[in-house]
């Protein structure tokens, strides 16, 4: 048995290690925030805040919000924020519902071709995404959906990973007896799905909602292939276009990056419990 002193020492060492790890993890974020508040002439003067005669040797009078002001006035960055918010939110919400429906059908309905569909979903998981760029572009062009958000959203609505994740989660979390009772009581399949099934797999819903939102929010290649109008570009593409050919305003680039990162951080903090428990639930095999 360990003595109380050994337990306290172990706790102190554990907390010290966690604090060091947290500091090292947050250090790049701190640098990003301070870099976005610098003027171009101060960007390389100090690793964080600009040096000066103020408190702690920092030039507080040289900290500026001009980078953010220029983003949303001169470059009309708000349009790209709205584009990303619409694209990522619609893709995440609708994609989550469709993947949950497909996973529910594979997990709890016995029909001819069930095993084949499941094998097809598993096969789709191993196909690298870049291999689908050319056929996906041809398909969207033939449908006349180039330079539209429909052409950008439709190919990613039903992700094989999401279908398989929901299938595994529903196999474990949804008792067949509960579904049979709902059907005996007269519940339709849609009502059973939305009122019984989805609440029982809420952690998986939260996890995949976060995953699909992040994937759409950070999507960089497909918007450049599908969209031609710059006013339709999402945030990831707009930030890349802040880079100049012969000169670079690093402060404004860091400000744009910070604007792109903050919504993702807020969403992850709101759904972190569901994210962890949802992935764990989908990883367990019955």
Residue 281: its pLDDT value, please?
Answer: 56
- All domains of the chain, ordered by start, with CATH? 4-64 (no CATH), 68-283 (1.10.3720.10)
pLDDT of 16 > 80? The answer is yes
* Vertex 96: Cα angle to 162 and 77 (nearest 5): 110
Q: Which of 2-16, 25-39, 137-151, 212-226 has the lowest mean pLDDT?
A: 2-16
Q: How confident is the model at residue 246 (pLDDT cuts 50, 70, 90)?
A: low
Residue 164: its pLDDT value, please?
Answer: 92
CA atoms within 13 A on the CB side of 261: 12
pTM of the model: 0.83
User: Mean pLDDT in the chain?
Assistant: 85
Q: Which of 9-23, 51-65, 178-192 has the lowest mean pLDDT?
A: 51-65
pLDDT of 85 > 90? The answer is yes
Residue 213: its pLDDT value, please?
Answer: 92
Q: How confident is the model at residue 14 (pLDDT cuts 50, 70, 90)?
A: very high
């Amino acid at each position: 048995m360990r003595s109380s002193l050994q337990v306290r020492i172990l706790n102190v060492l554990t907390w010290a290690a966690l604090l060091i790890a947290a500091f090292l993890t947050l250090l790049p974020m701190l640098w990003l925030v301070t870099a976005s508040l610098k003027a171009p002439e101060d960007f390389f003067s100090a690793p964080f805040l600009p040096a000066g005669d103020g408190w702690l040797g920092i030039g507080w009078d040289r900290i500026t919000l001009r980078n953010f002001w220029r983003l949303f006035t001169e470059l009309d960055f708000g349009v790209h924020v709205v584009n990303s918010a619409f694209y990522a939110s619609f893709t995440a919400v609708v994609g989550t519902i469709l993947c949950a429906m497909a996973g529910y059908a594979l997990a709890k309905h016995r029909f001819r071709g069930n095993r084949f569909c499941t094998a097809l979903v598993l096969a789709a998981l191993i196909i690298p995404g870049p291999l689908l760029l050319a056929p996906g572009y041809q398909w969207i062009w033939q449908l006349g959906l180039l330079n539209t958000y429909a052409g950008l959203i439709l190919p990613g609505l039903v992700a094989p990973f999401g279908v398989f994740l929901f299938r595994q989660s529903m196999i474990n979390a949804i008792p067949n007896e509960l579904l049979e009772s709902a059907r005996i009581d007269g519940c339709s399949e849609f009502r059973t799905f939305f009122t019984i099934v989805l609440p029982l797999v809420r952690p998986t819903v939260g996890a995949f909602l976060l995953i699909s939102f992040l994937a759409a929010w950070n999507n960089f290649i497909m918007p450049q292939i599908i969209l031609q109008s710059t006013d339709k570009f999402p945030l990831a593409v707009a930030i890349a276009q802040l880079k100049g050919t012969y000169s670079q305003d690093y402060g404004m680039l860091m400000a744009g990056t910070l604007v792109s990162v903050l919504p993702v951080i807020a969403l992850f903090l709101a759904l972190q419990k569901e994210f962890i428990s949802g992935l764990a639930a989908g990883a367990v095999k019955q």
